[in-house]
Amino acid sequence: FGWLDKQRGFIIGDGVFETGDSGNTWEEVIALRNVGIRKFQAPLIYLGYSNGFKGLIYKYIDTSYIPVELISFDGRVEGDKIVLEWITASEINNYGFEIEKSVKGGNWEKIGFVPGKGNSTEINDYNFTDQIILDGKLNYRLKQIDFNGTHSYSEVITIFVDDLPIQFNLAQNFPNPFNPLTTIKYEIPGQARNDNTLVTLIVYDILGRKIKELVNEKQQAGRYGVRFNASFLTSGVYIYQLITEEYMNTKKMILLK
């Protein structure tokens, strides 16, 4: 016996019976009669598994649910580019994402496409880079498309492309504590977007041993964000340091698994 949510559940025995109205009525799944289904488990509200005779595994998917669970969608200015990033927790029948942009409240325009993972119960990271042509207010949204052509839109995010930063800045990573992904943001000042500064961003352990070099390159003036995946590390306090010829700053972050 098992429930997917308050309305839908299964009784597993000599046959398989399914309810969609909190148990008021039950209907036998005829195709699964006499196949030995046992021990129903539902790790997600639209996804369930059970085993049967001779190694048979039964997989249940409710495609009426929204096929893609979007955890986050955000963007930032990096030099003369805008970097969009989004994360999904699970995907069903996901063909991919169209990226749409509206400039200063104008009409929406498709500017790119990123393929999806199809079916996945793992966390997936996506990104897309848009070239800055005009300053001002830029709106972005995702159009998620199924293989059958149906689609849904994400929330709209707004990015303001305005004056360049007037000073160096290293922000606190977010989220913090984190597990295992976090983002480190920083700002590079300059008079023009073609100014170049040698930037190094390094992660150390609490004893000062170098863990990973995230950035080591010349970058234009602007606002940047670097995603750090600490899945290979153990829980604890770590240090990240931003270094340029004119600036150095260090902050702590906490990995909590």
Q: What is the pLDDT of residues 211-248, one digit of tens each?
A: 999 999 998 888 888 999 999 999 999 999 999 999 99
Coil vs helix vs strand at 186: strand
Which tokens hold the place of 197?
């500064």
CA 130 centroid distance within chain:
18
pTM of structure = 0.53
Under the banding of pLDDT at 50, 70 and 90, the label for residue 168 is very high
CB atoms within 10 A of CB 76: 16
- Compute the residue count for the chain: 257
> Do residues 60 and 113 make contact, with C-beta atoms less than 8 angstroms apart?
no
Amino acid occupying residue 165: P
The pLDDT tens digits of the residues spanning 48-100 come to 787 777 777 877 766 555 568 888 999 988 877 899 999 998 888 899 999 99
In the sheet where 27-28 sits, what is the strand order? 2-3, 9-12, 16-19, 27-28
Distance, CA of 180 to CA of 44 (rounded, Å): 21
